[in-house]
A and B are shown apart, each in its own frame.
Chain A
Amino acid sequence: MEFAELIKTPRVDGVVLRRPFMPTVEGTLCLTGHHLILSSRQDNTEELWLLHANIDSTEKRFVGSLGTIIVKCKDLRVIQLDIPGMEECLNIASSIEALSTLDSVSLMYPFFYRPLFEVIEDGWQSFVPEESFKDLESMTDEWRLSEVNKDFSVCPSYPSLLTVPRDIDDESLCKAASFRHGGRFPVLSYYHKKNGMVIMRAAQPLTGTNGRRCKEDEKLINATLCAGKRGYIIDTRTIAVAQQAKARGGGFEQEANYPQWRRIHKAIERSNVLQDSLIKLVEACNDQSHSMDRWLSKLEASNWQSNVKEILTTACLAAQCIDREGASVLVHGTEGTDSTLQVTSLAQIILDPACRTIRGFEVLIEREWLQAGHPFQQRCAQSAYSNGKLRSEAPVFLLFLDCVWQILRQFPCSFQFNENLLIMLFEHAYASQFGTFLGNCVAERGKLQLSQKTVSLWSWVNRPQELERFLNPLYEPNNLVIWPSVAPQSLLLWEGVFLRWNRSTKCLDEAYQEMVHIIEYNKELQNKVNSLRRQLAQLETEDKMVADLK
């Protein structure tokens, strides 16, 4: 087995594990191919099982012969391991380093993980495009499912089945694809049942400096407009950035060629800027200096909250175009795989009550992120403790989750799920035993044979035992469009993720449990009252019958 040679020292005794706000554990440290395990070998004490893939970076320190490894994880946790013996420490450190930076996807844990639970519903089969299309078909006949990308040759990052306007043939789609970055031609993202308006998404048009145009592209998006109606194109970049893109062959839709569309530019940051923002934010959150001014200025300098606000604002804008203006929307940025998806998926959470259920949210993630080709493997290769050598890492998905959390905070009764689901998704996007977030697009996942060789995250999440943890006790279905406030005073720092390891959550958890208890007790009492009423009614009828007989 390949891992054995990477593990220089598989086992060290007398290792001390230190974590903030948790008791120190002393025990034996074991390295396996995929886990770092620390066990005190005593009953009732917690064992640490850490996926190597979860390790973002490590630091070594020595005091005499006592070595210390500080392990910084992708879920933002920081733990300290005190290892007696310099050699052992060095060995462990280099083993962890090697094991946590494996290049080959096929060596990742999901390919080795065998579930201890029975898979009742295979998550790989839970969300098929045909199913969603059936729903759409029941509402409108304006759209069709195209197989133009069956072999992923038209657009490598798109799935094989795509929803496109009925009147546009596959040949036109191919031409439109050649006019869009990465072949990502405009496809349907969301159909608003209430008024038939749609959100489409694409990548930037390749107008270049000489203003190329593509009749098929124009026809394609015009086909989504009703007669005499106009739509909005939301470009997630500022006009300046979009102009610059022309020099590299990209660009934006010219008014002259798209007279039925009004273009709006927003300013969502590009992925490399977002990564920097995350690094700074986490650095600020871990600052132990206790100085208020320092904290606030670091928080501000990280720009994280500004990014949240900008993304949420853009999503609200898209939703407003649809619901209030009665106009269809096309969203794109540069590649159409990052900010575009943030906007289209958040707009759906605002507009569509179905997306606020657990199942609906899973469908949304599957459709708007996984199948839409957000490059999870690249984006989530490193997290906030990454240093230097960044390639294309970016917390695009985490920002989306943060925005969902903001809406959840403002509408705490309108979501079937709670914060735990969002945190869980964040963790699994970065390191997981499940194959769901591996690969960068459908085509890659197919090649990796993930559905045969790994277990889907959804297979695990959708088990009733697990689901319970993610249920929001306050949930009451709310069929309305929910408009969040984007005032800075209304947007909070997501403590559940960013301050998670910097505080003791005991008091907060207990309070949450108490709330759950109150609500469950209410249901219990309701049932009790109902059953007593029934009993009484029965007695009364019997009594009446007896009286009548007399």
Chain B
Amino acid sequence: MEHIRTPKVEQVKLLDRFSNKSVIGTLHLTATHLIFVESNSTSAQEIWILHHHIASMEKLSLTTSGCPLLIQCRNFRLVHFVIPRERDCHDIYSSLLRLLRPVSYDELYAFSYNPKQNDQQREEGWQLIDLAAEFERMGVPCDQWQLTDVNREYKVCETYPRDLYVPITASKPIIVGSSKFRSKGRFPVLTYFYQEKKAAVCRCSQPLSGFSARCLEDEHMLQAISKANHNSRYIYVMDTRPKLNALANRAAGKGYENEDNYSNIRFQFVGIENIHVMRGSLQKLLEVVGTRSLSMTDYLVGLENSGWLRHIKAIMDAAIFLAKAVTVEGASVLVHCSDGWDRTAQVCALGSLLMDPYYRTIKGFMVLIEKDWISFGHKFADRCDQLDPDQKEVSPIFTQFLECVWQLTEQFPQAFEFSEWFLIQIHEHVHSCQFGNFLGNSQRQREVLQLKERTYSLWAHLLSEKQNYMNPVYSPSFAESHPVLEPSTQACHFKFWRNMYHQYDRSMHPRQSILKQVLTFKESNRELEGTVQALKTKLQKFGVSTSPLKPQTPPRDRSLPPRPQSLILGAPLLSRKEVQQEEDEEVFGEEAREDAPASTDGERTVEGSSATENGYGELTGSFGSKNEPAVVTLEFGVARMTC
């Protein structure tokens, strides 16, 4: 609190990103949120921005109406305030600057967030996902794979979890030897076991081979993985990097496996770019789609130049290669990149999702993220810029994974139990630092931080509002007919994910949502089924008993858990006071109000429906008067009109 110099500024103007629309309101600064409340009492919209969500701020040069402050959020929201007095703007700016750069983990929201649960509920939340049970589900340990305690004390590899699964024939000396030959000690371990063919997906980091170094233990390790699978004489080694990158690493004493030294491996480069390229790519993408009055040509050229969809496709291609090797050839695959926590996580997780329908369910998807991303040490703190970061470490690796999954949901609408709002909500919370799951860079660090004792689990929270994330057309039987997904990789089947990157740009979206409609129907069906049942019982009773007691009818207007904070589904509007008291969680009143089920969708026109917003008043005026300007440029919501 000591960092807040000005808790409240009035008469602040909020400019719309893509039109000339603006609203006046009051800006509040709390310890966790920046809140804008529109002054107009009838349609007062509220925008809540969590400090952790702010990626960057920019004070633009002073204008006649005040001092502009541009805030770019990690959830792709962009707000543009104009604060009347420069002093206030500066105060807000410098307070925020301090607030959004926490210096220690203790300052993160997760450590103060309290959803009013007792310790037992908190504990239960953390127990929802059990990775040992997950390996058991895959059929591990088995006659070929076992749990090793070699990393119990994080002595062999700091960034791996404690529990690791390795081939039975891999003895401790082999493991330790292999780990010494691998970058950051990340030796080959099992991440997914395809029971049907006894084929394994293993992951590791690059070997420290340099130009000629070799390591017998490491060679043994790969041999052991190969021998654990009787279905195939060889294993694939997928280096997910472009060959050039791998070659360059050799000069630093790292590199890739030499096929001559390893018996029975098939080595393959995949060509996914590194974190720096991905960061730049997203930046370019956001620049393009953030342009006002963007032309179709600039959009498509920009989309191409950003390379974003090319990278998404590269990840997808790699995952498909992995899934095919395992399910069709029955071969085991070892996946690595440089350190084995970015591209490797993307490919292993997406590949597993293609192979195993379980990961396409809500619970299974949580397990998958917990396993391949959290436990195996994807550096969420660094990549998502949680704490006093090195900007060079920030990269949208996890976002790309979510997008790949979204691309799959578009091709296979019935394969996933969840809708895209689940993915978007996870993305929101990866950056919110509101829950403990994604804090820190490794399991070890999370234990040191005592996250399970001091914070809450996101998964419990998401499960509590599960029905908001359901895919209404999900068909469990789809998994039987399509146990393995075979997506098309033709370029034209990859689309721009508008609902993610324009989540907060209302004017971009369809004005009516099929998803929301069908979800409503589905909910209504459930209720009606209940009503039918109740009525039937009632009718039965009618004939038999004449007791004066009326049987209880089921409540017809059962209130639903709150909607996710998304454009399409909308969130219930809590009063600001309520939320402030509880410091509960973000609520984006703006969307909530706009998408309240009662509102008629058609009314939400392109850029608002009143003439003044669109500058029509000006036009009418110019019509009436005799002195017409030679050129009148008017911004219509949809079209620029030059007379």
Contacts and interface: CB of A to CB of B under 8 A. Distances in A.
A48 interface: no
B289 interface: yes
Contact of A297 (B304, B496, B542): B304
From B492, B512, B513, B514, name the one whose CB has the most chain A CB atoms within 10 angstroms. Answer: B492
Interface in A464-503: 474, 478-493, 499, 502-503
B135 interface: no
Interface string B516-546: 0110011011001101100110110010001
Contacts of B619: 325
Contacts of B167: none
Given A316-B639, A410-B510, A511-B413, A288 B539 contact: no
A314 interface: yes
B641 A488 contact: no
A481 B605 contact: yes
A224 to B, nearest CB: 16
Given A480-B602, A525-B528, A411 B511 contact: yes
A111 B500 CA distance: 53
A474 B616 contact: no
A305 interface: yes
A503 B637 contact: no
A490 B509 contact: yes
A292 B494 contact: yes
B614 interface: yes
B639 A290 contact: no
Given A294-B491, A493-B492, A507 B411 contact: yes
B317 to A, nearest CB: 8
Interface string A278-301: 000000110011111111110110
Interface in B309-341: 309-310, 313
A444 B603 CA distance: 43
Contacts of A317: 636, 638-639, 641
A536 B524 CA distance: 21
Contacts of A305: 296, 300
Contact of A411 (B294, B512, B538, B614): B512
Interface in A492-550: 492-493, 499, 502-504, 507-508, 510-511, 514-515, 518-519, 521-522, 525-526, 528-529, 532-533, 535-536, 539-540, 543
Contact of B639 (A313, A482, A510): A313
Nearest to A492: B495
Contacts of A492: 495
Interface string B377-419: 0000000000000000000000000000000000111110000
Contacts of A483: 605-606, 637-638
Interface string A260-273: 00111100000000
B600 A299 contact: no
B165 interface: no
B510 A411 contact: yes
A503 B508 contact: no
A389 interface: no
Instruction: Identify the interface centre among B414, B636, B638: most chain A CB within 10 Å of its CB.
Output: B638
A526 B529 CA distance: 9
A194 interface: no
B112 interface: no
A212 interface: no
A320 B301 contact: no
A230 interface: yes
Interface string B175-218: 00000000000000000000000000000000000000000000
Contact of A489 (B313, B412, B498, B642): B498
B528 A230 contact: no
B569 to A, nearest CB: 15
B552 interface: no
B146 interface: no
Nearest to B301: A300
A272 B271 CA distance: 42
B269 interface: no
Contacts of B268: none
Contact of A532 (B532, B546, B605, B623): B532
Contacts of A289: 491
B262 interface: no
B638 A300 contact: no
Contact of B638 (A308, A486, A504, A540): A486
Interface centre among A309, A411, A413 (most CB of B within 10 A): A413
A263 B643 contact: yes
Given A507-B411, A533-B535, A296 B304 contact: yes
B638 A484 contact: yes
A481 B637 CA distance: 14
A412 B529 CA distance: 27
A293 B623 CA distance: 48
A314 B639 contact: yes
A479 B538 CA distance: 40
A521 B526 CA distance: 11
A414 interface: yes
A409 interface: yes
Interface of A, secondary structure class, is helix
Contact of A518 (B297, B525, B611): B525
Contacts of B498: 489-490
B601 A522 contact: no
B542 A478 contact: no
Given A480-B600, A529-B535, A532-B532, A522 B525 contact: yes
A518 B307 CA distance: 39
Interface string B604-615: 011000010010
A526 B623 CA distance: 54
Nearest to A324: B616
Given A317-B641, A482-B602, A488-B295, A535 B539 contact: yes
Contact of A290 (B296, B472, B490): B490
Interface centre among A474, A479, A511, by most chain B C-beta atoms within 10 angstroms, is A511
Given A414-B512, A514-B414, A488 B299 contact: yes
Nearest to B308: A292
A306 interface: yes
Q: Which of B299, B514, B600 has the most CB of A within 10 A?
A: B299
B287 to A, nearest CB: 13
Nearest to A293: B304
Contacts of A489: 289, 294, 299, 496, 498, 502, 508
A532 B536 contact: yes
B643 A474 contact: no
Given A518-B472, A522-B524, A230 B623 contact: yes
B94 interface: no
Interface string A412-438: 111000000000000000000000000
A274 B589 CA distance: 44
A483 B609 CA distance: 10
A245 B288 CA distance: 37
Contacts of A264: 641-643
Q: Ordered nearest first, which 9 A-B pairs have the shortest CB separation?
A: A295-B491, A480-B602, A488-B299, A511-B413, A300-B300, A296-B304, A525-B528, A483-B606, A316-B638
6 contacts: A293-B307, A482-B511, A483-B605, A490-B508, A507-B413, A532-B539
Interface of A: 230, 262-265, 284-285, 288-297, 299-300, 303, 305-306, 308-309, 313-314, 316-317, 320, 324-325, 409-414, 474, 478-493, 499, 502-504, 507-508, 510-511, 514-515, 518-519, 521-522, 525-526, 528-529, 532-533, 535-536, 539-540, 543
Interface of B: 18, 289, 294-301, 303-304, 307, 309-310, 313, 411-415, 472-473, 475, 488-496, 498, 502, 507-514, 517-518, 521-522, 524-525, 528-529, 531-532, 535-536, 538-539, 542, 546, 600-603, 605-606, 611, 614, 616, 619-620, 623, 636-639, 641-643
Given A313-B638, A489-B294, A499-B493, 16 more contacts: A288-B490, A292-B494, A296-B304, A305-B296, A306-B296, A413-B512, A487-B18, A488-B295, A488-B296, A504-B488, A511-B413, A511-B414, A511-B473, A525-B532, A533-B535, A535-B539
